Every structure is written in structure tokens, then in C-alpha cells.
Structure 1
Amino acid sequence: MPETKKGEPGSGDYERVICQIKGVLGARLVTEPDGSISEIHIMAVSGRNPKQIVRDVESAILVQLGVAVDHKKISIVQVELPQLPGEVAEERLSDTQGDRLRLVSINLFTRGLETEATVEVEAGTGGTIYQGHAFGPNAPEYNLRLVAAATVNALEKCCGSNWSIALEDLVWVEVAHHRAAVCAIILVTHQGSEYLVGAALADGDDRQAAARAVLKALASRCYHVND
């Protein structure tokens, strides 16, 4: 087997990250003699767009392991799983809320050594507006994480008691010479937990990008994000 250098992720690290993604049942890597990845084979349940799974794999590996993987090296095989007796249907927002999310406003307030981020998210066209809050140290480098955390808090209020959401990470990357936010969130339902990743271009507004990355992460589950 190729030897993994100290500090570099091994095959087990990649497989652990990939298996956290929604719909993935298993993953195996094929590596070159120098340890670089030549192929990633993934088994997933049917029902998810395989291109979306590939994008989720690329994003998850980049966020958690700091490695950019060529999507051409990723292959997906999808299988049908039998329906379990009495299986609970997937939980969603109520029909009155709809399945669209829109970012309404972002505000930062500083009080001495503490900063509060307030984010408003609208659920459904002309629907209810949910306000989320997050508090942290008065440090400019921490503000964007507060914005992401406040967005998560708003989504928790939007989803009610059926879902629990937590911010796992927020990082910044360069994509085609553009700055972009990439966030990872953990979604917990009665069926279990899953790891979701979202990304948004900054286009000169880092706060908007941080919040929209969170919305895009949830959109990868089952919601549409309005521009």
C-alpha cells in the first residue's frame, strides 16, 4: 500500500468524509503509488441526482480535508433499497410555508467586547420571516462566522422542532479568481443526522456570501434559495 505522509489524509479519512454525505452507502478509493487519488468509487441510494452527489463529495473533501478533487475521478453507482415497513416520510416545512428560502437582511451590532449578528430569512413567497441571532467576541475576523451562525439559528426557528441544525465550519476559497464562502452544517432529524455543504460567491459582499452558503447547504437537502 502507498505510504501516507504525516499530516496528509489517508484513504480512511476520505471514506469517512464521503460516507457522511446524504444518500451515500459506502466509498472506496484507488490510489497511485505516490498516494495520490486516481479513482473514487461511491455506492449511493437512488433518488438523488448523481451530479449533486459528486458536487457534495468535492465540497466536503475540500472543506474537511483541504484537498481539491477532480470530479472526473469520482464514479457513482446507485442502488434501490427496499421500503421498510412503517418507514416515516421525509420531514419538510409545512405546505403553508412552501419550500423557498430568501435572505432578507443581515445586521451586526457591537456592544463593548461582544458582537451580535442578526439575520432574517423568509420562508415561502411572501411568507413568514424568521430572525436568527448569534453572539461572539468583538473581533472583525469572527464576524462572518457569526453571520453564518445567525443564519443557522433563523433556519432552526423556520424548521421548528422537527429539525436541529448546527454550524460545523465556514471557510473561504478562491474559485476561478473569485472569493467564495463554503460552509458545512449538521442536520439532525428523527431519521438521523447528515452532513450538508453549501457554497456562495462573495462578489464583494462577504456577509451575503456567508449567509447564502448556509442557505445553499440546506437547499442541497430539499429547498430552493431565491436570489
Structure 2
Amino acid sequence: MRGLPESKREPGVADYEKVICQIKDVLGARLVTAPDGSISEIHIMAGSNRNPKQIVRDVESALLIQLGITVDHKKISVVQVQGQELTGEVAEDKALYRSTCMPLRLVSLNLYTRGLEAEATVELEAGLSGTIYQGYACGPNTPERHLWLVADATLNAVEKYSCGIWNLALEDLVLVEVAHRRAALCVIVLVSREGYEYLAGVALVKGDDRQAAAQAVLRALNCRSCVYGSAG
């Protein structure tokens, strides 16, 4: 007996951008969508080694082959940047880092507990495109691990936002007392093709330890990727 056919998820903005970012010489991509969810504009930052028309054709082909989506080439714009001072993978990594330098805002976070396990979900919004990036983390259901799970879920969302050029890990996370206020302090390690570096961030607790933990992660990345925590 045949089962019911599986429902196929419609591709979202993040799916389009991920496909486009895989194309040779593409350093970054941002989409603008119409109210009905269709693509109205595709903005691409690329290196100067290839003809822009070829990049546009590659974008059309990649979206058609991987997502089954046909896009009018008139909706695609390409801006090219010079990068002669950098070569090879390092040039690609640094240019993509610059192109993804746009704000991220903490939209929501949730922590679910099921018996021995807990799961944290975090949503970050890209300020210019409005794209939502969801992060997840699961682990032991203990009070001490809950903050770590929220921080790990935040890092997972940032990794998705970076199109996979960063690998992020939480090195430490503690609650501290400073100026008679409680604060979340974290240290993370960021690994890319350039190497690795340690970053630290702190956020005051304003009633919710978990939100402070997520904001501390975003502030640790503030100088590196121009992200910021939610207001409030």
C-alpha cells in the first residue's frame, strides 16, 4: 500500500541566497521579495574576475537546477569589487566576510524540555533583507545547561547567516556581578579559512538570563560581523 506523498517545502529567501553564494566569484547575495513571496530583486556582490553577464546566467541556471525556480535576468543586479591585494581562498573568505557585514536582530528564543533533554530555538533577523535565520541546539535538561543551549542555538543561527564561511563554538558562558548588576559573559571561538580567533561579549540581565546569554553572543560578534542584540 502506498503512503501519502510527502509535502515539499517551498524554498525561502535563505535557500535562494545559499545557492547563489555557492557560485564562483559570488561574494554575497541579498534578495528582495514581493508581498506574495515571489522574487522581485536579487542583489549580488561579486569579484572582478568574471563578466557580470556570465554571473547572471550562472544564477539563473543554479536556481533553476537546484530549486526549480525560473528568474528573469532583469531582476538580477551585480556589483563587482576589486580584491587584488588578496588571492585564492583567503580573498574569497575576506570579501564574503565584508559583504555579510549587516545587522542581525534577536527576534525570539524558546527553550523546550522533554524528560532528560532540552532544546533551544533562536530566531535572528537580518536587518536589511528581513530574512529570518533559525538556530537550534539540544542537550541535557539541567538548569546549568539551559543558558549554554540558548547560546549554542544563537551561534547556529549566525553560522547559517554566514553561508557556512564561519564555524563557531562556545568556549565559556558565565553569569557575573558587575556594578551591582547581573550580566552574561561569554567567550566564543570563530574559525574560518583565515584561521581562528577568540571573541568575548557581555550583556546585562534585564529580567531574563536566557535573553542576556543570546545577546552576549551577538555582542561578541559585533566587531566581527556587525550584528547586534535586540533592544529592550
Give TM class, smaller chain: 0.5 to 0.7
Q: 1:179 aligns with which of 173, 178, 182?
A: 182
Partner Cα distance (1:85, 1:122) in 2: 31
Q: 1:137 aligns with which of 124, 136, 140?
A: 140
Task: Name the CA shift for 1:93/1:102 in 2 (closer, same or farther; >3 Å).
Answer: farther
Q: Mark the runs of 5 or more structure 1 residues left unpaired by the alignment.
A: 1-82
Q: Which has the higher helix share?
A: 2
Q: Deviations over 1:137-177 (max 9, x none)?
A: 11122111110111011111111221111111101111100
Contact 2:159–2:165 (CA under 8 A) maintained in structure 1: no
Partner Cα distance (1:170, 1:132) in 2: 18
Partner Cα distance (1:216, 1:92) in 2: 20
Q: 2:170 aligns with which of 156, 167, 185?
A: 167
Q: If the length of structure 2 is used for normalisation, what is the TM-score?
A: 0.57
Q: CA deviation at 1:126?
A: 4.8
Aligned length: 144
Question: Which protein has the larger Cα radius of gyration, Structure 1 or Structure 2?
Answer: 2
Contact 2:124–2:132 (CA under 8 A) maintained in structure 1: yes
Percent of residue pairs identical: 58
Q: CA deviation at 1:91?
A: 4.1
Contact 1:91–1:162 (CA under 8 A) maintained in structure 2: no
State the partner residue of 2:210.
Answer: 207
CA RMSD of aligned residues (A): 2.2
State the partner residue of 1:123.
Answer: 126
Task: Name the CA shift for 1:157/1:113 in 2 (closer, same or farther; >3 Å).
Answer: same
* 2:182 aligned counterpart, secondary structure: strand
Q: Deviations over 1:94-135 (max 9, x none)?
A: 85x661010010101111110000011112235211111111
Q: If the length of structure 1 is used for normalisation, what is the TM-score?
A: 0.58
Note if 1:102 corresponds to 2:98. Answer: no
Partner Cα distance (1:121, 1:159) in 2: 12
* 2:221 aligned counterpart, secondary structure: helix
Post-superposition, which runs of at least 4 consecutive aligned residues in structure 1 deviate over 3 A?
83-87, 91-95
Contact 2:184–2:213 (CA under 8 A) maintained in structure 1: yes
